[in-house]
Amino acid sequence: MMYYVSDRPQRTNTYTAEATSNRYRQCLFDWLAAQPPLWNQITYRRRQEYFSDDGDVWNAEYTDLYDEYAPITGKATCQQIARKNSEARRSHFRLLNQYHDDSDPTVTEKPSPPGYWGTREEGYELHGLVRNDLYTFDWDEDRSTLEFGVGDVLEDRYNFEHNERVTLEVRGNLQWNGDDSRLELIYDEHATQLRVQHPVRIQPDNLREQRQDAFTHTLDTENTTQAAAIDVGANNTLAVVTENGETTVYHARPEFDRFQSYSERIATLQSKLREDEYTSHRIQRLYDERSRKRDHSRNAAVKHVAEWLLERNVDTVYVGDLTDVLDTHWSAEVNEKTHAFWSHRQLLERIELTLGDVGICVAEVSEANSSGKCPECRSSDVTRTGDSFRCHDCRLDAHSDVAGAWNIVQSEEGPMARPAALSAERGRDAPQEGAYWQWNEHDWIPADFGEQSRSLDQPSLSKPASSQPG
Query: Do 383 and 302 sit in the same domain of this protein?
Result: yes
Query: Do 234 and 352 sit in the same domain of this protein?
Result: yes
Query: Do 162 and 241 sit in the same domain of this protein?
Result: no
pLDDT tens for the chain, residues 1 to 470: 333 333 567 788 889 999 999 999 999 999 999 999 999 999 999 988 887 777 788 888 999 999 999 999 999 999 999 999 999 898 888 888 888 887 776 677 778 888 888 765 555 678 899 999 999 999 888 889 999 999 999 999 999 999 999 999 999 888 788 888 999 999 876 667 899 999 988 765 666 565 655 565 566 666 677 899 998 865 667 889 999 888 888 887 777 788 888 888 888 888 888 877 777 878 888 888 888 888 888 888 998 898 889 888 888 999 876 554 444 444 545 555 445 665 667 788 888 888 877 778 888 887 665 667 888 888 888 887 777 888 889 988 888 888 888 989 988 888 887 887 666 444 334 444 557 888 888 888 877 654 333 343 333 223 334 433 33
Number of domains in the chain: 2
106, part of any domain? yes
Q: Are 130 and 77 in contact (CB under 8 A)?
A: yes
1, part of any domain? no
The rounded Cα 246 to chain-centroid distance in angstroms is: 26
**Host domain of residue 196:** 10-204
The Cα 389–Cα 437 span in angstroms is 19
Reported pTM: 0.59
Query: Do 200 and 219 sit in the same domain of this protein?
Result: no
Pick the last residue of a domain from 175, 204, 233: 204
What phi, psi does 305 have (nearest 5°)? -60, -40
Query: Do 322 and 280 sit in the same domain of this protein?
Result: yes
461, part of any domain? no
DSSP for residue 324 = G
Query: Do 238 and 287 sit in the same domain of this protein?
Result: yes
462, part of any domain? no
Helix axes 75-100, 35-50, angle to 10 degrees: 40
Find, among 141, 169, 171, the residue nearest to 13 by Cα: 171
The rounded Cα 14 to chain-centroid distance in angstroms is: 12
Query: Do 296 and 344 sit in the same domain of this protein?
Result: yes
The Cα 49–Cα 37 span in angstroms is 18
Start-end of H helices in 151-280: 152-157, 207-214, 253-271
CA angle, 63 then 66 then 67, to 5°: 115
Q: Burial of 309 by CB count in 10 Å (0-12 exposed, 13-18 middle, 19+ buried)?
A: buried
Dihedral sign from CA coordinates of 383, 388, 389, 394 = negative
Find, among 288, 254, 283, 287, the residue nearest to 270 by Cα: 283
Q: Burial of 353 by CB count in 10 Å (0-12 exposed, 13-18 middle, 19+ buried)?
A: middle
374, part of any domain? yes
Pick the last residue of a domain from 182, 204, 226: 204
Query: Do 181 and 280 sit in the same domain of this protein?
Result: no
Query: Do 109 and 228 sit in the same domain of this protein?
Result: no
Dihedral sign from CA coordinates of 168, 174, 177, 181 = negative
H or E stretch covering 89:
helix 75-100
432, part of any domain? yes
**Strand, coil or helix: 327:** helix
465, part of any domain? no
Pick the last residue of a domain from 156, 183, 204: 204
Find, among 363, 368, 389, the residue nearest to 326 by Cα: 368
Query: Do 240 and 266 sit in the same domain of this protein?
Result: yes
470, part of any domain? no
Query: Do 187 and 47 sit in the same domain of this protein?
Result: yes
Query: Do 200 and 232 sit in the same domain of this protein?
Result: no
The Cα 339–Cα 110 span in angstroms is 11
**Strand, coil or helix: 348:** helix
